[in-house]
Amino acid sequence: MSYKYKAKKIKGKRIDEHRLIMEHYLGRKLTRHEVVHHIDGNPLNNDRENLKLMSLSEHSRMHRLSQGNIYSTSSINKLRTYGRIHRTRAKMTVFDIKNIKRMLRDGIKQKLIAWVYQVHITTISKINCDRTWSWIS
């Protein structure tokens, strides 16, 4: 498996080069909730001007959202690939998810949908909030 970031080994521990550059620039260690974003999208371009410090939530939101709550095309493709590989034993099909999303748009209660599909209400809530199966419209 190839790794997409340049890294350095320090005291036997692998540390991403872009994080080291940002730590040096800031004069402190980064917290686990801070992310160094590559502005141009190239993970090998570690020029200081190409790096931006962001919170983990900001970074996730930025990559997830392109317009409103719509995923970018590249994100959708990644999610589809992820879903095909990692949801091989899913109880629901893409057809089920589309029906659930239609039912939610029509105002049917989440509890009733959960009962119909024999899943926990949390599953329906996650589908409604696009925390799972989000690549399906």
Residue 93's closest CA among 83, 78, 108?
Answer: 83
Domain segments of the chain: what residues? 7-64, 73-128
Q: Give residue 80's pLDDT.
A: 58
Q: Give residue 73's pLDDT.
A: 63
Q: Give residue 69's pLDDT.
A: 47
Summarised one tens digit per residue, pLDDT across range 83-131 is: 555 555 667 778 888 899 999 999 999 999 999 888 899 999 988 888 8
Percent of the chain with pLDDT over 90: 30
Alpha helices in the chain (DSSP H): 17-26, 56-64, 73-86, 94-105, 110-117, 121-128
The overall average pLDDT reported for the chain is 80
The answer, yes or no, to whether residue 22 has pLDDT greater than 60, is: yes
